[in-house]
Chains A and B, each alone.
Chain A
Amino acid sequence: MISMPKVARSSLLLALFFLGAACSIAFSAFMDRHEQRGATHKQSDRFSNILLYTQHGQPVRFYDDLVKDKTVIINVTYTACGDICPASTAELAKVHELLGPRMGRDIVMLSLSIDPVADTPERLKQYWEAFGAKPGWLFLTGKPAEVDRLRRELGAYDLDPLIDANPTQHAGFITVGNDRTNRWAALPLLMHRPQLVGTILRMSRRT
């Protein structure tokens, strides 16, 4: 399994963490990280290292905990989404099955909720369970403004503001990236599944 920060065991700890995140600790950590990685011009340099919560209620940093040194499969979704998102999520579940034991080992699936106010960790957990409670698959929620910024950094936006404002309009593709080798691509989620999985595996190479 991928490494995760330990679950915050009490509300006090959680509150402390929140306080820290809101203050300069997170800011300086971010700057360090950026300066450290800036010279390499990795795609992930452009990702905000924002605080997110998984469906298990775990606080995670987007880059440090979820992307760094891994191959990631990212989509944007939300649980209230009608027909489109469940179809996409069901397809991701099938992709997950084909990737087998690689999932959670060196490949992680990240479903970012773009309705973070409604999509609490509890609700995301129900959604995750409805699609098989698969390991290595995290549903993420966070602060709306930060999530929205991250969505754009991930390429899930439309230059047309009307289309961009429609949250279902970003559900048709996934972003696949290997942070070790800085290879990234966006792929139609509903393309031929073996081709999709083949591409994920090709991009997940360590070399």
Chain B
Amino acid sequence: MVSRRTMLKWGAATGAGLLFPIAYRQGRALAQTKSGLFFGYQPFTQPLFIPEVLTPLTGRDRLFPAPGAYPRNPGPNGRPRTPTGNCNDVTHGIAPEFGHCPEWNRFNRGFSPGNTHEQEFELVTEETTHRFVPGGPDTPVLTYRDGTKAAGSGTTPGPTIVAEYLAPVVLRNCNQLTRNRTGVNSTNHDIETSIHLHGSHSPAHADGYPDFYVLAGEARDYFYPNIAPKVTDPGTLMAPVCGGEFDTTWIPSTLWYHDHAMDITGFNTSHGLAGFYLVFDDRQRQLADRGVIPQIDGRDAFGNPLDIGLALVDQRFNADGTLFYDFLDHNGRLGNVFTVNGVVQPKHKVERRKYRFRFLNASGARIYEIRLSTRRKMCIIGTDSWLLPRAIEVESFQLAQGQRHDVIIDFRGAPDEVFVENILVQEDGRGAKEVDPNKERDLLLKFEVSGPDSVEPRCEEGTVIRGFAGLDPDGQFSFHRGEEVLATRRFQFDRSLGAWTVNNRFFNPRRADAVPVLGRGAERWIFENGGGGWWHPIHTHLEGFQIKTVNGQPPRRERQFNSDLVALEGGFEAEVFVKWRTFTGPYVFHCHAVEHEDMRMMGVNDPTPAQGDPSRPIDATGPLDGETRIDPVVSGVVPDCTELEEEQRIFFDAVGDVEKLEDRGVGFPECRFDLGLRGNQGR
């Protein structure tokens, strides 16, 4: 056994080993892996951490200033008061232009007329310390903290946000990662953040656009309507914003929120900025009542919930127990210490009954193939944000970065110990190598199983989960149909001279790379991995897609329905159908290998209302057709306020003017992305 002291000495020796570059690279982070011990931790002896539910604000605790009503300086582009570093300083509000529809808006729950206001939450981003193992070092981490709880109580994963379908939410996020104001952090600099609610159908200003920052010491309001997009009218091939039916196939369920700040997403997420966001609806309660899934608020004999999120992160540490991060490792940060919900290789007591687990790959570069040590089948009821039409039983499932699976594990008949294991071999940040079910096993989590078998229905292959027609269990799943496809776009994700590219171009947050007609039909998007051996998990914001083919073949069964991520191995090509509904852009689509993303492997998608007479026949061709859909002349977007002029001026200004550069646009009623001012391309 290696003592902690020995490990520290060893770590210090390699830390000073710059003279031996190979040892330095491989040995900088503490090896833990299969046999070694991490700060003396005996694996599977500490309990699983289950994040608390974020407290809704009520009565006098409600947000002040109220969402959408912020004190401003006078003038056409009035800025908020000078930030003083507390949560009242909302420098980025929610835009009042959203929420006009009677059936969904900020102030009415469609199904519950008694509630006349959106649900409010306050989430603070702060640094705190965290023990990855009992008795281990206090590791500085970045956390989200319940705004009603004491400073310093932030956790990783952050509090779980529980929302209801069609019940709108305003989340106020206060960034206290400042260098020298409220909430000092130990990195010695102000850290900008941006929260993306991954898998949600939310307006652009609340989507965590990469440079719609929450600057240190400031706050931003995020508006999550918790809606599904609308059904496409088969006659006009248009999906309305107001009116029409919700496309119930796209009711969200398993979402997660995480940092998305441009240039620093990898650092922020690896240091802890992620959490679960779960949406419930009548169909899930119905499934619970029928025993298909566990009771939603149910607890087992140990007092633990029956519905548990499992965020998988492979961590990497310095010798002193601080988190290792290399800003200049452009391949991806591959860890060697496996954590679940922020603790190293935990154990969790379960009864011999069914549980619902939301598996999330929150890692930066690691891809998992998850299997139970018993090889027993697991019942997948959801993929990414959405429930499947029917349950699918698998012996293992793959999770690329950001992907989720909503899984029923039935412990009836299970032995006393069941491990969750990863059987995918991966040696560097580029991507996974292969599944090796016999040799390579990373043990992630141990279930300690006890008690007699429960009596309840089984989740089996084909068990009906969610049909298109809402509560009708026999309803059909709503596939995007080929005849709805009115445009095809191709995006090649590649590398050029050491820099990541999308269609041979570099990301510009002020230039649209796709301008779909909002709500019109469906589009075929082809994602191509240019090769070189890197995996690129491709993620779209605003809407998920339906994967038709990967390299000409159908995807795995559990990925044939709704997804928001498709994992592309080197040289692979995926064809997906997607509809861009409800909200105008800008949104990003990007590689979810966060180190690639930070190096700008992103594109901008800017769904735009149809021009002219909406009743005229839809013209599938036009200036955006085919390759020219990425025509710079027609697709540029600029804000209609004065940022561009300020950008020109600031180059000659002194230090301290940086905030002028940060986008203040979307979310300010006076400064929206102006669709009439296209054409700003720069080059």
Which A residues are within 8 Å of any B CB, using their own CB? Answer: 30-31, 34-35, 38-39, 41, 43, 46, 48, 84, 98-101, 106, 149, 152-156, 158-160, 163, 168-173, 175, 177-178, 180-195, 197-199, 201-207
Are B497 and A84 neighbours in the complex by a CB distance under 8 Å?
A: yes
User: When chains A and B are docked, how far (Å) is the Cα of A193 from the Cα of B648?
Assistant: 11
B179 touches A207 (CB 8 A): yes
- Nearest-neighbour CB distance to chain A for B642, whole angstroms, equals 14
Whether A156 and B326, one on each chain, are in contact in the complex, defined by CB atoms closer than 8 angstroms, is no
A-B contacts, 10 listed (Cβ < 8 Å): A30-B18, A46-B328, A153-B328, A163-B532, A182-B189, A183-B264, A185-B598, A188-B500, A202-B661, A207-B179
Which residue of the partner chain A has the closest CB to B216? A207
Given contacts A160-B532, A172-B498, contact A192 B508 (CB under 8 A): yes
What are the residues of chain A within 8 A of B647 when measuring CB–CB? 194, 198
Query: Given that A98-B651, A160-B533, A207-B179 are known contacts, is A201 also in contact with B263, CB under 8 Å in the complex?
Result: no
Known: A185-B263, A188-B500, A202-B658. A155 touches B328 (CB 8 A): yes
Taken together as a complex, chains A and B put the C-alpha atoms of A184 and B508 apart, in Å, by: 19
Q: How far is the CB of B510 from chain A (nearest CB, A)?
A: 7
Q: How many A-B residue pairs have CB under 8 A?
A: 148
Q: Which chain B residues in 172-190 approach chain A with CB under 8 Å?
A: 179-180, 187-190
Question: Given the interface contacts A38-B16, A193-B683, A205-B658, does A181 sit within 8 Å of B498 by beta carbon?
Answer: no
Partner of A173, one of B324, B428, B497: B497
Determine the chain B residues whose CB is within 8 A of the CB of A191 once the complex forms. Answer: 506-508, 600
Asked if A192 and B651 sit within 8 Å, CB to CB, the answer is: no
Residue among A31, A170, A188, A204 with most chain B CB within 10 A: A188
CB pair B652–A155 under 8 Å, yes or no, is: no
Contact bitstring B151-188, A, C-beta under 8 A = 1, else 0: 00000000000000000000000000001100000011
**B530 at the A/B interface (Cβ < 8 Å)?**
no
> Shortest CB–CB separation between residue A184 and chain B, in angstroms?
4
A35 CB to closest chain B CB, in angstroms? 7
B327 sits at the interface (CB 8 A): yes
Return chain A residues, CB-CB under 8 Å to B258.
none
Q: Within B505-520, which residues are at the interface with A (CB < 8 Å)?
A: 506-511
Q: Are B648 and A194 in contact (CB under 8 A)?
A: yes
CB of A188 within 8 A of CB of B600, answer: yes
Tell me whether B322 and A41 are in contact (CB under 8 A).
yes
A190 lies within 8 A of B430 (CB): no
Residue in chain B with minimal CB distance to A95? B651
Q: How far is the CA of A87 from the CA of B604 in the complex (A)?
A: 26
- Contact B506–A159 (Cβ < 8 Å): no
Interface pair B328/A201, CB less than 8 Å apart: no
SS class of chain B's interface: helix, strand, loop or mixed? loop
Contacts of A193 in B (CB 8 A): 682-683
Q: How many angstroms between the C-alpha atoms of A184 and B561 in the bound complex?
A: 39
Q: How far is the CA of A35 from the CA of B683 in the complex (A)?
A: 46
Tell me if B18 and A187 are in contact (CB < 8 A): no
Interface contact A188-B508, CB-CB below 8 Å = no
A112 nearest CB across to chain B (Å): 13
- The answer to whether B508 and A170 touch across the interface, beta carbons within 8 angstroms, is no
Interface membership of B235, Cβ < 8 A: no
A187 and B599 contacting across the interface, CB-CB below 8 Å:
yes
Q: Mark B432-475, 1 if CB is under 8 A from A, else 0.
A: 00000000000000000000000000000000000000000000
How far in angstroms is the closest Cβ of chain A from B218? 14
Is the pair A159, B189 in contact by a Cβ cutoff of 8 Å?
A: no
* B480 smallest CB distance to A (angstroms): 33
Residues of A within 8 A of B69 (CB): none
B506 close to A188 (CB less than 8 A): yes
In whole angstroms, how far apart are the Cα atoms of A39 and B393 in the complex? 49
- Is B499 among interface residues, defined by CB-CB distance under 8 A? yes
With A155-B328, A159-B331 as given contacts, are A194 and B189 in contact (CB-CB < 8 Å)?
Answer: no
Q: Find chain A residues with CB under 8 A from B328 CB.
A: 43, 46, 153-155, 175, 184, 186
Q: Does B369 contact A (CB under 8 A)?
A: no
Do A159 and B430 touch across chains, with their CB atoms under 8 A apart? Answer: yes
The answer to whether B499 and A192 have CB atoms under 8 Å apart is no
With A159-B331, A173-B499, A199-B263 known as contacts, the answer to whether A192 contacts B532 (CB < 8 A) is no
**B interface, how many residues as a size bin?**
35 or more
Main secondary structure of the interface of A (DSSP, over half): mixed
> Closest residue of chain B to A170, judged by CB?
B498
Give residues of chain B (187-216) contacting chain A, Cβ–Cβ below 8 Å.
187-190, 192
How distant is the Cα of A205 from the Cα of B501 in the complex, in angstroms?
A: 27
Alpha-carbon distance between A14 and B584 when the two chains are bound, in angstroms = 64
Q: Are A197 and B651 in contact (CB under 8 A)?
A: yes
Cβ of B1 < 8 Å from any Cβ of A? Answer: no
Also in contact, A207 and B330, with CB within 8 A (given A34-B16, A48-B18) = no
Contact A207 B180 (CB under 8 A): yes
Cβ-neighbour of B21 out of A98, A99, A152, A197 (below 8 A): A152
Inter-chain pairs besides A154-B328, A163-B532, 8 sampled, C-beta below 8 Å: A34-B16, A172-B497, A188-B499, A192-B682, A195-B508, A199-B262, A201-B658, A206-B655
* 8 A-B pairs with least C-beta separation: A172-B497, A155-B328, A181-B189, A184-B327, A191-B506, A188-B499, A192-B508, A172-B499
Given contacts A182-B188, A192-B508, A195-B508, contact A41 B318 (CB under 8 A): yes
A34 and B18 form a contact (CB under 8 A): yes
Q: Which of B24, B187, B651, B652 has the most CB of A within 10 A?
A: B651
Chain A minimum-CB-distance residue to B17: A34
B15 at the interface (CB under 8 A from A): yes
Which residue of the partner chain A has the closest CB to B15? Answer: A38
CA distance A116 to B62 in the complex (A): 64
CA distance A198 to B510 in the complex (A): 13
User: CA separation between A156 and B262, bound complex, in Å?
Assistant: 21
CB of B320 within 8 Å of the partner chain: yes
- A43 CA / B644 CA spacing, docked (Å): 32
In the complex, chain A residues whose CB is within 8 Å of the CB of B658:
201-202, 205
Enumerate chain B residues within 8 angstroms of A41, measured Cβ to Cβ: 318, 322, 324
Looking at the complex, which one of A163, A171, A180, A187 makes contact with B600 (CB distance below 8 Å)? A187
Q: Is B84 part of the binding interface, using a Cβ–Cβ cutoff of 8 Å?
A: no
Closest-by-CB residue of A relative to B187 is A182
A178 to B428, CA, bound (A): 27
Q: Mark B590-602, 1 if CB is under 8 A from A, else 0.
A: 0000000011100
Closest Cβ neighbor of B322 among chain A residues: A41
Q: Give the complex CA separation of A199 and B213 in angstroms.
A: 13
B98-149 with Cβ < 8 A to chain A: none
Measured in the bound complex, the distance between the Cα atoms of B651 and A3 in whole Å is 23
Whether a CB of chain A sits under 8 angstroms from the CB of B650 is yes
Cα distance, A84 to B499, chains bound together (Å): 13
Instruction: Give the CA-CA distance A185 to B599 in the complex, in Å.
Output: 7
A175–B497 CA distance with the chains assembled, in angstroms:
13
CB nearest to A173 among chain B residues: B499
For the complex, is B329 an interface residue (Cβ under 8 Å from A)? yes
CB proximity of B350 to chain A, nearest CB, Å:
38
Chain A residues with Cβ under 8 A from B373's Cβ? none
Q: Does B42 contact A (CB under 8 A)?
A: no
